[in-house]
Structure 1
Amino acid sequence: MPGTPHPRPHVLLGAYALAGVPDPGGWYAALDDDGLDGIEHPVDPDDVAALATVAAALPARWSLMPTTVAATARRATADRSYGLASDDEAGRREAVEGVARVLDAAGRLADDGRRVVAVELQSAPGPGTGSAAALERSLVELAAVAPAGLPLVVEHCDAPRPWGVAEKGFLPLEDEIEAVGRAARATGHPLHVGLNWGRSAIEGRSAATPVEHARAAAGAGLLASAMLSGAAGVAGRWGGPWDDAHVPPHGPDPALPGSDESILGPDEVRAFLVACGPVPVVGAKVTTRPLDASPAQRLAVARATVAVVRAALADVEPAWSAGVREVPQGV
């Protein structure tokens, strides 16, 4: 409804690609005054105890959004029968049991006072060996064992397209929307879709694809997170063209790459967030080059990226409240 106030989103940083280890020299504490509310962090279903170590390194007020993306991508690459969307029942059951362990660990963190805003899941293995129907079954089963009220967010990764080899190659967004919507209606549990700007851009080989995806997920009433990771359409410091390399946005800060390296900049951030509309979680997932950059260099990239996100939020929040879904003049 136009003019309706909206809750302030949690601003998260997918800092693990930058930090490298749970807390190198108080790295997270150094970011506590930079407008962050917490972090997105990977968790391996086979090592859920590590999540508590990460949580212990965070400032007390920060929230946490665990994600299974790294473990899922690694396992699905080695075994195409594995994943929440797998049509192979043994592979699907194994993935469900692993995510159930993650949900249990997240629940224990919440019981200990740590705010867990959501858990991110992925729709591996992808078309041909996976389906929306299998993903729906998995989500219904996970909703039955998830801590009450804990949102489960299916993070869209790039799906196969005709023009090249996919980075992740999981289910298309429309299949994820179908599965999440049906499972949410069947269970009443908070089940949602999440987007990552860079992965959508990689899928479509275009800065327009993330906006298209945002409109689709938000239009279905299922979008809960908008993460900003850049992409590069040409080979450079971050690897080959369209690699999923967590390229930072370009912007005025010298710590950020130039526009010739990252196709994500302040204008693209604003357009994406306007298309998303009000979402509970907004954040960024970035890294730097060289990979062994000093802690000071990593901190500078993190701070500059968060500044781009917060500036965009300040610009688009009036559009959110007005119910506008296109970038207004002057934004």
Structure 2
Amino acid sequence: MAKYIVGAYATVPQSDKWDAQLQAEYLDGIKDLDNIGGVEHAFAGSLHPEDDDWFLANINPEWDFVFTGVPGIMGNIAANPKFGIASDDASGREAALAFYEKMRLAVHKLNTFVNRQAVTHVQLQTSPNQAVAASSAASLTMSLTEMQSWDWGGATLVIEHCDTFVAGQKPSKGFLSIEDELAVIASLNKEFACNIGIAINWGRSALETRSIDGPLEHIKLAVESDLLRGLMFSGVSDEASPYGVWEDTHMPPVLPYVDGRDVYSAEKSLLTEDQISRCLQVVDWSQLQYLGLKIGVCPKTLSAAERVRCNQETLAMIVRLSASFNPSSSL
């Protein structure tokens, strides 16, 4: 049965400086969500960007954790455009491997603190941006050949597909294509008897393809390869909005108005109940290892309680829709 995972880091309260009390208030609200099995946790170079001890003291020790390196990777790319595990530049690839080694140590630190295997999955990204630096499936193969041999504390390695470079289109990430990612994973799983998989983020696949059909296409490719491990719902807009046009800002889905107000300015989101249903119709979601959401919210002035509520409403929608499908009838 899939566990519902919330990418809570994307909705954290915004303030001019680190406010431990405000962040704790927000996390307390996330802990109270119904049906939450765990969180997607952002890694930027250390377990927590401000205070590892604070983080460990404020999490729910019963949560499962899915690590993602996107924040750290984008920071590294800003300093070195050749950074990435798919980079054809040797120094850029080695720098990315060093980054993921830090993540591996953070995984063990968290597991040790809760005295169990809390980190279930580690999401890898196939940078660099092909618009500015060369990358290839061959380079990714070299990196994953090494990484699959590391001790990840029992966590499953998963490539988190981000938008790939498309000629004539400005990319957000510009990483490898899903076809290349799936081919590399399948080859390595066969050669080393490992269990690397792939995760799809609805918003990133829609952004790449400039279409609400893109996520379905990517899901079907992953399912046909028997490699789909996770499915996360983020929104995106094709119109001017506070979240940008075709921007990877994790726009919320269209949600019910609160007191007649579109609190989250999400009325132009392409992610709707119908789109979530379409995806759940073509995947045996009960066989997924995790299913969930990752959303950002506007405006920045929203309170911790309002940010929790946006996650609550989105999670409730996903739970309700997934419960309406008989998994045995899919695909």
Q: Quick one: structure 1 residues 308 and 52, their matched pair in 2 at CA, closer, same or farther if it must change by over 3 Å?
A: farther
Task: Pick one of 243, 249, 253 that aligns with 1:249.
Answer: 253
Q: Which amino acid is the alignment partner of residue 27 of structure 1?
A: Y
Is the aligned partner of 1:296 residue 2:317?
no
Output the CA distance in 2 between the equivalents of 1:29 and 1:70: 23
- The runs of 5 or more residues in structure 2 that have no matched partner are none
The alpha carbon displacement at 1:321 in A equals: 2.2
Is the aligned partner of 1:197 residue 2:202?
yes
Is the aligned partner of 1:119 residue 2:122?
yes
Contact 1:64/1:114 (8 A) holds in 2: no
Contact 1:63/1:116 (8 A) holds in 2: yes
1:34 — aligned with what?
34
- The runs of 5 or more residues in structure 1 that have no matched partner are 1-7, 326-331
Task: Pick one of 201, 219, 225 that aligns with 2:224.
Answer: 219
Q: Quick one: structure 1 residues 113 and 26, their matched pair in 2 at CA, closer, same or farther if it must change by over 3 Å?
A: farther
Q: Could you tell which deviates more after superposition, 242-251 or 268-277?
A: 268-277
Q: Secondary structure at the match of 2:65?
A: strand
Q: Could you tell which deviates more after superposition, 74-83 or 33-42?
A: 74-83
1:269 — aligned with what?
276
Deviation digits for residues 78-135 of structure 1 (CA, Å, limit 9, x no counterpart): 3222100011111111111210221122123223335111011100014461111111
Q: Quick one: structure 1 residues 273 and 260, their matched pair in 2 at CA, closer, same or farther if it must change by over 3 Å?
A: same
The alpha carbon displacement at 1:299 in A equals: 1.6
The alpha carbon displacement at 1:260 in A equals: 4.1
Q: Secondary structure at the match of 1:271?
A: helix
The alpha carbon displacement at 1:245 in A equals: 1.0
1:70-85 correspondence runs (5 A): 70-85=71-86
RMSD: 2.1
Deviation digits for residues 8-40 of structure 1 (CA, Å, limit 9, x no counterpart): 211111111211477724322323242111110
Q: Quick one: structure 1 residues 56 and 178, their matched pair in 2 at CA, closer, same or farther if it must change by over 3 Å?
A: farther
Contact 1:247/1:288 (8 A) holds in 2: yes
Output the CA distance in 2 between the equivalents of 1:186 and 1:96: 21
TM-score normalised by length of structure 1? 0.88
2:143 — aligned with what?
138
Q: Percent identity?
A: 29
Deviation digits for residues 126-177 of structure 1 (CA, Å, limit 9, x no counterpart): 4461111111111110111133532011100011113420001101110111
Q: Which amino acid is the alignment partner of residue 271 of structure 2?
A: L
The alpha carbon displacement at 1:179 in A equals: 1.4
1:67 — aligned with what?
68
Task: Pick one of 258, 269, 289 that aligns with 1:280.
Answer: 289
Q: Secondary structure at the match of 2:149?
A: helix
TM-score normalised by length of structure 2? 0.88
Contact 1:119/1:151 (8 A) holds in 2: yes
Contact 1:149/1:190 (8 A) holds in 2: no
2:215 — aligned with what?
210
